[in-house]
Amino acid sequence: MSDDPTGSVPEEGTSVRDAALDAMLARWAAAPDSVDVESALARVTARRRAESVTTSAPATDDLAVRRAARPDAARVVPLWQRTTFRVAAALIIVAGATAVWRSSSPPERAVTYATTTGLSQEIRLADGTAVRLGPASSLELAPGFGRTHRHLTLHGEAWFEVTHDDAMPFAIKVGAATVQDVGTAFLVRESLSREVSVRVTEGIVTLTTPAATKDTTVTLRAGDGAVATPAGIAVATGAVSATEGAALASGHLTFADASLTEVQDALRRWYGVTLVMSDSALAARRVTADFTNEPVSRVTAVLGLTLGVAVETRGDTIELRTVGTPPRP
């Protein structure tokens, strides 16, 4: 028998049952008196207390321990909290909103300027070109003007001071003709009979009209005038004076060797009157005159004196007839 009266002591972590304790106590009762029962019982009680403390401690979460041991810089940040992720998400949202705005915005449209009888309008186009749109006239700019092209359509009369751009020519469609600038100041007039008059005071323009086989193009320089009709283009070199250019730029009604067809259309736009001729031979006559805010009565009187004809005014109709010819009924 071992000198240790307690026998085998359970290993750490093993539960000591009450039955085992009873067995030891029974052995101690049968043992010699030299056995210190109280000391052995004290040791068993101490071990039970230690075991109770060990087994009652809560289980340790190894993952939590590892996370707590990491420095802050090494901790894993959720994806949605990362700066790069948030910036990328913001860019995606902005791009998506832009795409939605573009798809929902209306398409670009043509821009049209228009005037009424007797009133002109000064216009500054997106490319810097200055325009004085004459009375009862309209100017239409196709979508994209100034960005992808410089094409316009004119009905009536307009004075242009064009900002030149070799990469983007300035072209005016008027009736069947096309007027293109080469760094220029010029007047363009269109009549109801499809006659187009061009007066150049600065720079160069080209005037093109369609023909049965090949388009006809002429080059006009400062001081030149031209009239385009379905029959072709008639050029008057040096016919435009500096005085006429100044008058045209200021919006005056000016005629320089103008046909009565041109005068008819201008009087309709400026004064709302209709000019008629009782003698067809008068259609070949030419007019040179400058009117600065003149009343229509003054205009008709000047026309009569200039042409040497009689003038009859009835309401908004002005009749020109050769002297001695009876008025129209």
Query: pLDDT (tens digit, 0 to 9) for every residue of the chain, 329 residues total?
Result: 445 544 444 454 444 455 655 665 566 455 555 555 566 556 656 666 665 555 544 544 555 555 555 555 445 555 545 566 565 655 566 556 555 545 555 667 889 999 999 999 999 999 999 999 999 999 999 999 988 999 999 999 999 999 888 889 999 999 989 999 887 899 999 887 778 999 999 999 999 998 766 779 999 999 999 999 888 899 999 988 878 878 888 888 888 888 888 888 889 999 999 988 877 778 788 888 888 788 888 888 888 888 888 888 888 999 988 876 666 65
Identity at 259, one-letter amino acid code: S
C-alpha span between 208 and 104 (Å, rounded) = 41
Q: Are strands 317-321 and 274-277 parallel, antiparallel or unpaired?
A: parallel
* Residue 218, number of CB atoms within 10 A of its CB: 17
Q: Could you report how far apart the first and last alpha carbons of the chain are, in Å?
A: 163
Beta-carbon-side half-sphere exposure of residue 233 (alpha carbons within 13 Å): 25
pTM, two decimal places? 0.63
Sequence-distant (≥ 6) Cβ neighbours of residue 48 within 8 angstroms:
16
Phi and psi at residue 17, to the nearest 5°: -85, 160
Q: How many CB atoms within 10 Å of residue 132? A: 20
Q: Backbone phi, then psi, for 291, in 5-degree steps?
A: -115, 125
DSSP states of 70-93 as a string? S-GGGSPPPGGG-HHHHHHHHHHH
